[in-house]
A and B are shown apart, each in its own frame.
Chain A
Amino acid sequence: MSKYVIVGASAAGIGAVEAIREVDPKGTITVISDEQCPQYSRPMISDLVSGKADFGKMMCREHEFWTEKSVQALTGRTAVSLNLKDKYVELDKGDRVDFEKLLVATGGKPFVPKIEGSDKDGVFTFTTLSDAESLAAKLESAESAVVIGAGLIGVSCTEALVKRGLKVTMVELQDKILSLILDPTASEMVENVIRKAGVTIATGQTVKRIVGKPENDKVVGGAVLTSGEQVPCDLVIIAIGVIPRTELVAGTDVKTNRGILVDKTMCTNVQGVYASGDVAEAYDFVYGENRLLPLWPLAQLEGKVAGYNMAGKKADYPGGTAMSSLKYFGIPVISIGIANPKDPDQYETIVNHEPERSLYKKIVLKDNKIVGITLVNDIEKAGVLFHLLKNGVNVKKLKQELVADDFCLATLPRSLRRKLYPGEYK
């Protein structure tokens, strides 16, 4: 019997372990991960491929992390089923791990559409360390690649491949890259930088077929786009997105939508069973509803909240929202909340766009409150704006100042600062 069992040992699992140990130094913790060495930073796999980081640098916790936290780490093991009645997780090879409190932090898996030829040698997904290692092992002999999907994963992978000297074509179904997190202006700014780096970008298209090489049909030789154009390549990387890994709770009483449903304590509808990270639908304070937000910082925070509650310390998840910070191709971009309002009449936007300085700042307002932030190049005060967003501050009198060059904490009236940062004015 282990008091706490955590399935998945990436951001959410790590956050949970740290929180549990803050509260309960002794209760037994068992962590199950199908990866051999799970305590690495997933967002850094592109740095591994590009050569910017080695395996050691990728570790977001030390090798001794599990032992230091007195955790029984069952790594390289898969949780195959869950019995809620008798409270145990069944592992591959039939072992059982009993639990009092369970955290499902199984994360997401890459979405792979059916594409003819996707079984050929040279087709990869890009979410885990082993994906990155397999891809990196192929780079010596590869000259070109097609990346399907121009979201965060696709762009990060593209940058890594360019740094390794490959000729890359990025294929995106939408008519703009990064369309989920950027508005058309910001997207175009990033697109220009990526094109300058030698990348071909094909938007409004996808890959309908992967073909082999003339000398060996089993090895990737090209990708046929929906337009009919055939792009010769040695590698194809599928980077369309991730979907929650909910298999473990399938067929149990745990309620799911697209992901596992949780309350503010990260507990599912089943008492003692929690979920966090990419597998869970947690609260988004901009949308005012629970939804999937597969983002590393949120996963870590959700795991932390789950961990506190599992160990008996009451904690509420404050909520999160879409928030992305991009460093790729040397153009810093931050996007928070709503970038593209669906119904523009209901929103107001404040913009400062100076193309000659490659500067773009956009604030989206609803009823004088910030609900969206986009910053390109000048990003350093993003956190202050985010704090205003989180606190639902009425910014009616500050609108133009929010996008000004000199916007900073001092821009806020003293009375507002006192309210938002009470610790500073004791």
Chain B
Amino acid sequence: MKKIVVKEEHCIGCGLCEVYCTVQHSKSKDIIKAYNRENPRPTSRVTLEVHKPVSFAIQCRHCEDAPCVTACLSGAMKKDEETGEVTHDPEKCIGCWTCIMVCPYGAIKKDSSGKVVSKCDLCAELEVPACVANCPNGALVYKEVKK
């Protein structure tokens, strides 16, 4: 499947990945409206992690043997057998945080509503995920990854 690959040596810690992820997952898809008018502000599903001098973006790795899927209490987290994507259905999610407990990457977070979790959906509507497309230094790459 195609995955987002992180090249930490190229990351300059600018945080644009978070900005574009937020916009992409907003109602308006407009940067000003998303940041200033949408309340609560949509959650960025990618997190820029900084521990100076190291920085990199982290988002759901769509694990082959995903612990969040096995642990999910409600059936909200699923592995798409065809695409390999780990999908999350916020309608089914009960915000029990069990997936957060077992994600080895710490890549799942509470949604800004505080009631469900939120994670990378590889920008289903786009050919290339927004964080990858807008990374100014090639620190995020979207490519075919062997199992």
User: Residue-by-residue, is B69-92 near A (CB-CB < 8 Å gives 1, otherwise 0)?
Assistant: 011111100000000000000011
In the complex, whether B138 has a CB less than 8 A from a CB of chain A is no
Known: A61-B75, A386-B101. A380 touches B106 (CB 8 A): yes
Give Cα distance in the complex from A190 to B91, angstroms. 27
Question: How far apart are the CA atoms of A47 and B76 in the complex, in Å?
Answer: 15
Count chain B residues whose beta carbon lies closer than 8 angstroms to a beta carbon of A: 34
Of the listed stretches B25-33, B34-42, B54-62, chain A binds: B54-62
State whether the Cβ of B136 lies closer than 8 Å to any Cβ in chain A: no
Bits for A376-399, please: 1 = Cβ < 8 Å to B, else 0. 000111111011000000000000
Asked whether any CB of chain B lies closer than 8 Å to the CB of A52, the reply is yes
| Chain B residues with CB below 8 A from A410, complex form | 49-51, 54-56, 58
Hey, which chain B residues are within 8 Å of A334, CB to CB? 97, 100-101
With a cutoff of 8 Å between Cβ atoms, the chain B residues found around residue A420 in the complex are 104
Residues from chain A with a CB closer than 8 A to the CB of B12 are none
Q: Specify which chain A residues have a CB less than 8 angstroms from the CB of B47 in the assembled complex.
A: 408
**Max count, chain A CB within 10 A of own CB: residue among B6, B58, B98, B108:** B98
Contacts of A411 in B (CB 8 A): 51
| Bound Cα distance from A323 to B56, whole angstroms | 29
> Closest CB of chain A to B98's CB: distance in Å?
5
Interface contact B49-A408, CB-CB below 8 Å = yes
Question: By the criterion CB–CB under 8 Å, are B104 and A421 in contact?
Answer: yes
Give bound CA distance, A406 to B96, whole Å: 23
User: Given A410-B49, A411-B51, A323–B73 Cβ distance below 8 Å?
Assistant: no
Q: Are B51 and A383 in contact (CB under 8 A)?
A: no
Q: A409 and B105 in contact (CB under 8 A), knowing A41-B74, A300-B71? A: yes
- Is B106 touching A60 in the complex (CB atoms < 8 A)? no
User: What are the residues of chain B within 8 A of A60 when measuring CB–CB?
Assistant: 72-75
Asked if A325 and B101 make an inter-chain contact with CB atoms under 8 angstroms apart, the answer reads yes
Given A300-B71, A414-B54, verify A384-B106 contact (CB < 8 Å).
yes
Say yes or no for A110: interface residue by CB 8 A criterion: no
Interface core residue of A58, A336, A406, A410 (most chain B CB under 10 Å): A410
Q: How many angstroms from the CA of A100 to the CA of B139 in the assembled complex?
A: 53
Q: Is the Cβ of B97 less than 8 Å from the Cβ of A325? A: yes
Tell me if A9 counts as interface (CB < 8 A to partner B): no
Q: B74: which of A57, A381, A382, A408 is its contact (CB, 8 Å)?
A: A57
**Contacting pair B73 A386 (CB below 8 A):** no
Contact yes or no, B102 A59, CB < 8 A: no
Interchain nearest-CB distance for A219 vs B (Å): 33
A285 at interface (Cβ–Cβ under 8 A)?
no
Q: Does B103 contact A (CB under 8 A)?
A: yes
Complex: A334 Cα to B108 Cα, angstroms = 14
Given A334-B100, A409-B49, A44-B73 contact (CB < 8 Å): yes
Task: Give the complex CA separation of A52 and B75 in angstroms.
Answer: 16
A383 near B100: Cβ-Cβ < 8 Å: yes
In the complex, chain B residues whose CB is within 8 Å of the CB of A38: none
- A383 is contacted by which of B8, B56, B102 (Cβ under 8 Å)? B102
A-B contact sample (6 more), CB < 8 A, given A44-B74, A327-B95: A43-B96, A52-B94, A297-B98, A406-B51, A410-B58, A411-B51
Q: List 23 A-B contacts (CB under 8 A).
A: A41-B73, A41-B74, A57-B92, A60-B73, A60-B74, A296-B73, A297-B70, A297-B73, A297-B98, A323-B102, A325-B97, A332-B97, A380-B108, A380-B109, A381-B106, A383-B100, A383-B101, A383-B108, A386-B101, A406-B50, A411-B51, A420-B104, A424-B61
The 5 closest A-B pairs by CB, nearest first: A297-B71, A60-B75, A410-B49, A383-B103, A387-B104
